[in-house]
Amino acid sequence: MGAREDFTNDAMQYAPQLFATALRMTRNRSDAEDLVQETFLKGWRAFDSYQQGTNLRAWLFRIMTNTFINKYNSQQRRPQETELDEVEELFLFRRMGAFDQSKMSQSAEDQMLELFTDDEVKNAIESLPETFRIPVLLSDVEGFSYKEIAEMLEVPIGTVMSRLHRGRKAMQKMLYEYAKERGLVDESLLDPQD
């Protein structure tokens, strides 16, 4: 089997992850399918530039992210549609903590997130402006490092950190509103100066 065939087999294992993220980026199935297909096509064409032994997953996500930013962001071909409920699994719950929780009790963030439905978390992600949504997806859902995200988006690490902070804060506000609506927050216990 040749190097190109190995590359194809190795790359295809990431198709479900690429599609799930593409669906979150584009917010509709058809555009997500097109984005993933274009990602694989560009990867195939750029095979010679891929360095064997490097992080293939990150390389493919970088191609996809750049394709999305360059093509879909500038075109705005049609009104945005939402089909995030078709994504089988949302990995946000496992990725929110900054450290390994496997040997410890659940973090406060994980316990709090379990109070929300998948739809509420998805809506909070969807509500983010694209500038913040993409870094949050790449970091908290896909688990990429700040450095990898900076390379994918071609921005400094500080910009990634700032966008993640602002995106997470916006999500926190949205989830807080859901908590209030569902009676999960006892506002009488809050400091009136907050």
pLDDT at residue number 26: 84
Whole-number Å distance between alpha carbons of 66 and 52: 21
Q: In sequence order, what are the residues at sequence separation of 6 or more whose Cβ sits closer than 8 angstroms to the Cβ of residue 19?
A: 32, 33, 36
pLDDT at residue number 33: 92
Q: What is the CA radius of gyration of the chain?
A: 18
pTM for the model: 0.60
Going by C-alpha positions, the residue among 35, 25, 83, 84 that lies closest to residue 60 is: 35
Structure tokens at 176: 């807080």
Per-residue CA distances from 56 to 34, 51, 53, 69 (Å): 20, 9, 8, 20
Q: Where are the domains of the chain?
A: 1-83, 90-185
pLDDT at residue number 178: 78
Q: What is the CATH number of domain 90-185?
A: 1.10.10.10
Contact status, residue 59 vs residue 144, Cβ threshold 8 Å: no
Contact status, residue 99 vs residue 124, Cβ threshold 8 Å: no
Residuewise pLDDT in 10s, the chain (194 residues): 567 777 788 888 999 999 998 988 888 889 899 999 999 999 888 888 887 778 889 999 999 998 998 876 566 544 444 344 433 333 333 333 333 434 344 445 555 556 666 777 778 888 888 889 899 989 988 889 999 999 888 899 999 999 999 999 998 888 888 778 877 766 665 555 54
pLDDT at residue number 112: 57
The position carrying tokens 């994504």 is 87
Cα–chain center distance at 159? 16
Structure tokens at 9: 């087999």
Give, in words, the CATH class of 1-83: mainly alpha
DSSP category for residue 143: -
pLDDT at residue number 94: 35
pLDDT at residue number 193: 54
